[in-house]
Amino acid sequence: MKSEYRPDTIVTHAGRDPAAHHGAVSVPVYRASTILLPTLEMLDNKESLRLRYGRRGTPTTHALEDAICALENSDRALLAPSGVMAISVVLMSYAEPGAHVLVTDSAYGPTRKFCESVLRKMGVTTTYYDPAAGEDIEALIRPETRLIWMESPGSQTFEIQDVATIARVARSRGIVTVIDNTWSGGYFFKPLDHGVDISIQAGTKYISGHSDLMLGTIACRASEYERLRETYLRFGVCIGSDDAYLALRGLRTLAVRMRQHHVAGLEVAQWLQQQDEVVQVLHPGLPDNPYHNLWKNYFGGASGLFGFIIRETDRKRLARMFDGFSLFGMGSSWGGFESLMTPSNPSVYRTVTSWAPNGQTVRIHVGLEDPRNLIAEIRAGFDRLG
């Protein structure tokens, strides 16, 4: 894709080549394991071929890789069958006995669990750091530090990190930086433009957009690709072409969906701020949020995922509120067209910073419904608290 194209144009056209597929507008689903090579010369030089075995990719999965590169402004991309698999591939690529990694204290729960189980067994030490760290990250770097892991905003508490500053410090010390970029969908934030080396997403969320697909994406600089790819190949990681097709299909509407999530999410967040039942709203797009200025510096908008804290903590009363919803579902994941709301307890994932709100933390995903209907449903839910 041409570098001067705007994001909306990129998500509409990236990875497409109708001439290569008999004029089909969308890349067809190529289901394949064996790829036949017509000459012995090609067989002898198969390592140089992009298309040579289904596990290493098909025209459909290669189209999605190209599209992810265009979306994230990266040199290369790899696809995994889930976001957690993408996380695991990246962490394993830099794991070696005696190594040290720095991970934000606000990281996604499975990221921490992988560090505390698999990496620990391999002799890798993990230090968690305050997500508010900028220049101060340098004091935590050791001679054996190999990786700094960021997540902006944080998975459940929505802190925005000073990404460029952390990336600059890391680069000066020869340390690789990684960020979980799922919240932005790769649309509202381009980490590699700010010095980050690797950007991962749970494509299950916004890239899919329809809650019917599991996917992980790894976008990286050329300097990190071969190391990541070696781990990727040794573990036999791959995705099916049907899933790649669904991801490409979801990508075409990413821009319009993200803009709607932004508008509707802010409308619901602003309304929540005015409710007596609400102690605090955790949305970096709100002007009084402590991370608002950082958010404005880095992000072109906000997704539909944020949090809030309500005064009530009694589980029976909370059940009356949550069990009566019809538009808001309770379930894992987010990023689909539908709205979700679940009570959460971020404190169980904290070791360096504390999370002790005066009430119950709630994570909400504002989908594509009319926000006025969502607001009415939340109001009725608050009334049920009694």
290 vs 67: CA distance, rounded Å = 34
Of the candidates 30, 108, 128, 245, the residue annotated as catalytic is 108
Per-residue CA distances from 309 to 135, 314, 346 (Å)? 30, 13, 12
Give the angle subtended at the CA of 287 by the CAs of 284 and 291, to the nearest 5°: 40
Contacts of 305 (CB under 8 A, 6+ apart): 183, 265, 334, 335, 363, 364, 365, 366
In this structure, are residues 249 and 102 in contact, taking their beta carbons and an 8 Å threshold?
no
Radius of gyration, CA atoms only, the chain: 22
Q: How far is CA 89 from the centre of its chain?
A: 15
Catalytic residue flag (residue 108): yes
Residue 339 has φ and ψ, to the nearest 5°, of -85, 145
- Give me the amino acid identity at 309: I
CA angle 30, 32, 36 (to 5 degrees): 115
Active-site position among 46, 55, 221, 317? 55
193 catalytic? Reply is: no
**Considering 105, 180, 197, 243, which one is annotated as catalytic?**
180
Residues taking part in catalysis: 55, 108, 180, 205
